């Protein structure tokens, strides 16, 4: 048992580096994003909003922060996404729009970094 | 319930209950306070009793008269240098009476000077007011601080001397002198917090008892000395004999030092000029006459005691005060004699305690003058529970108690600190009066100028003599302390003035400035409970542009649970924001969110913090004070406002402290 677990761990380590490299390829600093740009950003989830819209449409809003700035990421139609919680590292790709007077990426393509 | 018609509604209306009759449960602290101090007084009850001359004499003169209980003794002690070196032995008794006469000359000058002050300032003319009026604010601070230190010393000295009067009768109490003195201070402070009215009987009995006992003693003493073949010398013990056989040389310094020690007798002469409005009309005339009578009594007693003490060669010891020795010697050891001796001691003790009490009336009032002019903390101007300046009383009690403990209730150690302050304030107020005569030139101003000029000169010289001769014995403390205190007060004043300037600049424009366009309300939520629900409910009534709940996630699992619960309960109208806080510094996290919300410069942010209110004080110990600490942090953010939303916990189930509004208004 012990030997097998170790082997798995080694495999994962290699994979994690590879995944990270691929996922982070082409990301830009959040500070450089602007409205109506197609961007790919990465950061950690600094804040989460639950149920933000009054009419009961399920929405999950998170704030991504990469140290240069923060941007809102909106997942429409979802109340909950497995694996996304406070402190999760996330890569999001999409067009920068606006919500509540802030820059936001709506329904991005996303990757949760391990 | 069916809706009532307008007529029914209106006939059901009742008038409001009387303002003070609302039965709001009081806090425990207040209940204890009421038990200790009596019912809180209404502001209208701030009575201004008018005093007739005999009562006024009792109220204002106790400080001055009581100092005769120790002034002669201190002169003798200095000349004999009891327990020290440089005493002049038996020769001392040749000088006691002349020195006393010099002091009485100063007293006469002072009385005449203060007669001028009383006429010029019929509405309270203490040294502070006179100096402020004529010499400016800074000299007034010097006069005030000097006087305040002397009020503190008056309490320490009087109480210590009062205790000395007790242990002169029953010596075993000597070991208990410090606790006894502290007990007196506590009792007097308590009495003043309750608001001892400066009313007649309480003051009159001890003051007149003291006057009677002193005049009787002096009378009998003179009779025995002149017609009865002279007074016997007081029997001596070893230390006394040693002091009497000393053969130091009579130097001018020693005589000046003894004179300075006698200066203690002058403290309290200013008391009447502080309280002119308390006299029956014509106030200034009655005050002047009372001052003169007091001066005469003081002079006779001081001179009489000094003369008797030197005839009898009384040497002060730890066990017996000079007055006790003189009284014992004069009255003899018969039953009547012993009774009269006891009467003298008890009267002495009471007037000394009363003298301490006078300081408790004067110190807080003077401190409140300082505070009114923004030179002392504003708290000193507040009248407390019983309409007295409670904070001033407590400050005085603490300072006096500190001195008593530090100097072990030893009058001879306290005396060197004494009198320099009061003479400083005498000098400044006389200078002020002289300046006023030159400035205003009322009829007979030249005579007034001469009197006050002489007063300023005499008291100025005495101040220098006291400062110089007692410097090494402890007066240096005062010489250093007063300037330091004045410096602190001036700094305090700058602080107050700059605050005032900042708050008042463009206050009108600021009040009319356009309001910010947006209002954003954040409800801080720890978990979903009734206190949180209450805060959300209140947040809704504010109808802000944006309302959201914020949870600072110090524990990720709790945060997720809360998020799930939020969804499950269907609180759809209100978004919940989870904010990570990996360093667990909640204050900083809230600060960041609020700063972000207010960043556009166009948003007024209100942070609602649910706060549990506890019935019992120890319940509070079970929880930290996070809410208050968050509020303090947010105080630094412009346009961030904190509102606590209270939720009453009934605690042990003995019923909530929450006030029932229906009961209140029906």
Reported as a single tens digit per residue, the pLDDT across B68-99 is 888 888 888 888 876 555 666 777 788 888 99
Residues from chain B that touch A49, judged by Cβ atoms under 8 A, are 548, 575-578
Mean pLDDT for B639-654 is 74
CA–CA min distance B635, chain A (Å): 24
Q: Out of B560, B576, B582, name the one closest to residue A51 (CB).
A: B576
Common-topology check for domains B49-496 and B514-665: no
Residues from chain B that touch A79, judged by Cβ atoms under 8 A, are 567
DSSP string, B345-413: HHHHHHHHHHHHHHHHHHHHHHHHHHHHTTSS-GGGG---TTSS-HHHHHHHHHHHHHHHHHTTT-HHH
> How far lies B288's CA from each of B119, B189, B276, B294, in Å?
8, 30, 9, 10
Share above pLDDT 70 across residues of chain A, in percent, rounded to a whole number? 81
Q: Say if residues B300 and B455 touch (Cβ distance below 8 Å).
A: no
* Confidence tier at B45 by pLDDT (50, 70, 90): low
pLDDT tens, position by position, B589-614: 888 889 888 888 889 999 998 887 76
Mean pLDDT for B2-28 is 67
Both tokens assigned to B212: 């009677």
Chain B interface, Cβ < 8 Å to A: 546, 548, 553, 556, 559-560, 563, 566-567, 571-580, 582
CATH number of this structure's domain B49-496 = 1.20.1740.10
Q: Out of A46, A49, A53, name the one closest to residue B580 (CB).
A: A46
Give me the residue spans of the domains in chain B.
49-496, 514-665
Is the pLDDT at B21 greater than 80? The verdict is no
Question: Using the beta-carbon criterion (under 8 Å), do B580 and A100 form an inter-chain contact?
Answer: no
Q: Of B523, B528, B567, B578, which to mutate for an interface test with A (greatest number of A Cβ within 10 Å)?
A: B578
Question: Using the beta-carbon criterion (under 8 Å), do B573 and A52 form an inter-chain contact?
Answer: no
Q: Say if residues B92 and B112 touch (Cβ distance below 8 Å).
A: no
Nearest CA in chain B to A46: B580
Mean pLDDT for A81-110 is 88
Helix axes B322-331, B335-372, angle to 10 degrees: 150
Whole-angstrom Cα distance, residue B191 to residue B556?
Answer: 58
Residues from chain A that touch B566, judged by Cβ atoms under 8 A, are 50-51
Is the pLDDT at B165 greater than 60? The verdict is yes
The pLDDT value given to residue B13:
77
Q: Say if residues B261 and B74 touch (Cβ distance below 8 Å).
A: yes
Is the pLDDT at B238 greater than 80? The verdict is no
* Confidence tier at B651 by pLDDT (50, 70, 90): low
Is the pLDDT at B248 greater than 90? The verdict is no
Q: Say if residues B193 and B40 touch (Cβ distance below 8 Å).
A: no
Nearest CA in chain A to B593: A47
CA–CA min distance A91, chain B (Å): 18
Whole-angstrom Cα distance, residue B317 to residue B328?
Answer: 14
* Confidence tier at B239 by pLDDT (50, 70, 90): low
- pLDDT top residue among B615 and A88: A88
Q: What is the ipTM of this complex?
A: 0.74
Range of lowest pLDDT (A3-12, B343-352, B445-454):
A3-12
Query: Which phi and psi (to 5°) does residue A102 adopt?
Result: -125, 160
CA–CA min distance B608, chain A (Å): 18
Residues from chain A that touch B573, judged by Cβ atoms under 8 A, are 54
Question: Using the beta-carbon criterion (under 8 Å), do A47 and B580 form an inter-chain contact?
Answer: yes
Q: Say if residues B254 and B106 touch (Cβ distance below 8 Å).
A: no
The pLDDT value given to residue B244:
66
How many residues would you count in chain A?
Answer: 114
CATH number of this structure's domain A27-112 = 2.40.50.140
CA B642 to chain centre: 36
Element (H, E) at B494: helix B475-504
Q: Out of B548, B574, B580, name the one closest to residue A87 (CB).
A: B580
Residues from chain B that touch A48, judged by Cβ atoms under 8 A, are 563, 577-578
Whole-angstrom Cα distance, residue B46 to residue B386?
Answer: 9
- pLDDT top residue among B85 and B666: B85
Mean pLDDT for A68-85 is 87
Question: Using the beta-carbon criterion (under 8 Å), do B572 and A45 form an inter-chain contact?
Answer: no
The pLDDT value given to residue B225:
80
Q: Of B544, B546, B560, B580, which to mutate for an interface test with A (greatest number of A Cβ within 10 Å)?
A: B580
Mean pLDDT for B119-144 is 85
pLDDT tens, position by position, B306-320: 998 888 888 887 778
DSSP string, B455-474: HHHHHHHHHHHHHHHSGGGT
Mean pLDDT for B154-168 is 88
Residues from chain B that touch A53, judged by Cβ atoms under 8 A, are 575
- pLDDT top residue among B570 and B437: B437
* Confidence tier at B664 by pLDDT (50, 70, 90): very low
pLDDT tens, position by position, B488-523: 989 988 888 888 888 888 777 878 888 888 899 999
pLDDT tens, position by position, B379-421: 888 877 777 788 888 999 999 999 999 888 888 788 878 878 8
Nearest CA in chain A to B548: A52
Is the pLDDT at B184 greater than 80? The verdict is yes
The pLDDT value given to residue A2:
46
Q: Say if residues B346 and B152 touch (Cβ distance below 8 Å).
A: no
- pLDDT top residue among B658 and B227: B227
List for chain B the helix, strand, coil content (%; round to 5).
Answer: 70, 5, 25
- CB-based contacts of A30: which residues, under 8 Å, 6+ apart? A41, A43, A64, A65, A66, A68, A69, A70, A71
Is the pLDDT at B465 greater than 70? The verdict is yes
Is the pLDDT at A10 greater than 80? The verdict is no
Q: Of A86, A87, A88, A103, which to mutate for an interface test with B (greatest number of B Cβ within 10 Å)?
A: A86
Both tokens assigned to B331: 């009255």
Q: Which of A51, A48, A53 is nearest to A64 (CA)?
A: A48
CA B530 to chain centre: 47
Question: Using the beta-carbon criterion (under 8 Å), do B563 and A50 form an inter-chain contact?
Answer: yes
Share above pLDDT 70 across residues of chain B, in percent, rounded to a whole number? 86
- The secondary structure of residue B544, as a DSSP letter, is -
Nearest CA in chain A to B560: A85
What value does the mean pLDDT of chain B take?
Answer: 82
The pLDDT value given to residue B29:
75
CA–CA min distance A89, chain B (Å): 13
Element (H, E) at B39: none
Q: Out of A46, A52, A56, name the one closest to residue B575 (CB).
A: A52
> How far lies B323's CA from each of B69, B104, B177, B329, in Å?
7, 19, 18, 10
pLDDT tens, position by position, B256-281: 888 888 888 888 888 888 778 778 88
Is the pLDDT at B1 greater than 50? The verdict is no
- pLDDT top residue among B507 and B630: B630
Element (H, E) at B272: helix B271-274
Chain A interface, Cβ < 8 Å to B: 45-54, 56, 79-80, 85-87, 100
The pLDDT value given to residue B282:
84
Architecture of domain B514-665: 3-Layer(aba) Sandwich (3.40)
The pLDDT value given to residue B46:
64
Question: Using the beta-carbon criterion (under 8 Å), do B576 and A49 form an inter-chain contact?
Answer: yes
- CB-based contacts of A80: which residues, under 8 Å, 6+ apart? A60, B567
Is the pLDDT at B59 greater than 90? The verdict is no
Mean pLDDT for B326-347 is 86
Question: Using the beta-carbon criterion (under 8 Å), do B546 and A100 form an inter-chain contact?
Answer: yes
Query: What's the N-to-C CA distance of chain B in angstroms?
Result: 19
């Amino acid at each position: 048992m012990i030997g097998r677990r170790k082997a798995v761990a080694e495999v994962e380590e290699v994979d994690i580096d590879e995944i990270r490299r691929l996922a982070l390829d082409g990301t830009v600093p959040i500070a450089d994003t602007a409205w109506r740009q197609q961007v790919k950003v990465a950061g950690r989830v600094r804040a989460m909003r639950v149920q933000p819209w009054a009419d009961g449409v399920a929405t999950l809003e998170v704030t991504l922060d990469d140290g240069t700035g923060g941007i809102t990421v909106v997942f429409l139609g979802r109340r909950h996404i497995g694996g996304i919680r406070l402190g999760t590292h996330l890569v999001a790709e999409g067009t920068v729009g606006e919500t509540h007077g802030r820059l936001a990426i709506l329904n991005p393509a996303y990757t949760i970094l391990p | 319930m069916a809706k009532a018609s307008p007529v029914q509604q209106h006939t059901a209306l009742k008038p409001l209950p009387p303002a003070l009759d609302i039965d709001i449960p009081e806090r425990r602290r207040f209940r204890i306070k009421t038990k200790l101090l009596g019912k809180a007084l209404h502001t209208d009850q701030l009575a201004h009793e008018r005093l007739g001359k005999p009562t006024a004499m009792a109220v204002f003169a106790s400080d001055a008269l009581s100092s005769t209980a120790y002034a002669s003794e201190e002169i003798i002690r200095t000349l004999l240098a009891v327990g020290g070196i440089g005493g002049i032995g038996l020769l001392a008794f040749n000088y006691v009476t002349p020195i006393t006469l010099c002091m009485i000359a100063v007293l006469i000058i002072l009385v005449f000077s203060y007669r001028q002050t009383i006429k010029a300032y019929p509405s309270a003319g203490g040294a502070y007011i006179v100096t402020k009026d004529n010499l400016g604010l800074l000299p007034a601070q010097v006069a005030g601080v000097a006087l305040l230190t002397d009020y503190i010393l008056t309490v320490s000295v009087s109480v210590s001397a009062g205790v000395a009067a007790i242990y002169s009768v029953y010596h075993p109490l000597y070991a208990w002198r410090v606790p006894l003195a502290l007990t007196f201070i506590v009792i007097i402070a308590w009495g003043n917090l309750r608001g001892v009215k400066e009313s007649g009987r309480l003051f009159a009995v001890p003051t007149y008892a003291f006057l009677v006992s002193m005049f009787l003693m002096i009378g009998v003493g003179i009779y025995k000395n002149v017609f009865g073949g002279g007074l016997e010398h007081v029997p001596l013990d070893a230390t006394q004999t040693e002091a009497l056989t000393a053969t130091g040389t009579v130097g001018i310094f020693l005589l000046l030092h003894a004179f300075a020690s006698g200066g203690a007798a002058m403290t309290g002469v200013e008391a009447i000029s502080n309280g002119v409005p308390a006299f029956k009309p014509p106030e200034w005339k009655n005050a002047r006459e009372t001052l003169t009578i007091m001066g005469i009594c003081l002079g006779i007693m001081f001179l009489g005691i000094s003369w008797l003490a030197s005839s009898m060669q009384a040497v002060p010891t730890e066990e017996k005060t000079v007055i006790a020795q003189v009284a014992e010697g004069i009255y003899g050891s018969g039953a009547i004699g012993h009774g009269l001796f006891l009467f003298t001691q008890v009267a002495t003790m009471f007037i000394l305690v009363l003298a301490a009490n006078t300081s408790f009336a004067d110190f807080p009032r003077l401190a409140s003058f300082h505070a009114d002019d923004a030179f002392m903390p504003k708290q000193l101007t507040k009248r407390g529970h019983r309409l007295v300046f409670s904070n001033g009383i407590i400050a005085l009690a603490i300072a006096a108690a500190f001195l008593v403990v530090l100097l072990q209730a030893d009058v001879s150690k306290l005396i060197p600190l004494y009198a320099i302050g009061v003479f400083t304030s005498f000098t400044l107020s006389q200078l002020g009066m002289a300046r006023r005569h030159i400035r205003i030139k009322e009829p007979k101003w030249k005579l007034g100028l001469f009197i006050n000029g002489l007063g300023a000169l005499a008291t100025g010289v005495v101040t220098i003599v006291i400062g110089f001769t007692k410097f090494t014995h402890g007066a240096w403390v005062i010489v250093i302390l007063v300037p330091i205190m004045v410096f602190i007060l001036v700094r305090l004043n700058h602080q107050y003035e700059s605050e005032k300037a900042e708050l008042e600049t463009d206050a009108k424009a600021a009040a009319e400035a356009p309001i910010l366009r947006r209002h954003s309300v954040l409800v801080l939520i720890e978990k979903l409970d009734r206190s949180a629900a209450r805060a959300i409910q209140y947040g809704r009534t504010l109808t802000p542009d944006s309302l959201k709940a914020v949870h600072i996630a110090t524990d990720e699992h709790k945060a997720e649970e809360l998020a799930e619960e939020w969804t499950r309960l269907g609180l759809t109208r209100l978004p919940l924001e989870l904010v990570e806080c990996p360093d667990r510094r909640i204050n900083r996290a809230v600060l960041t969110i609020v700063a972000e919300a207010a960043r556009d410069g166009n948003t007024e942010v209100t942070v609602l913090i649910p706060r549990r209110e506890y019935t019992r004080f120890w319940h509070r110990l079970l929880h930290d004070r996070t809410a208050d600490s968050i509020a303090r942090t947010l105080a630094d953010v412009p346009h961030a406002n904190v509102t606590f939303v209270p939720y009453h916990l009934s605690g042990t189930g003995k019923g909530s402290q929450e006030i029932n509004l229906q009961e209140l208004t029906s």
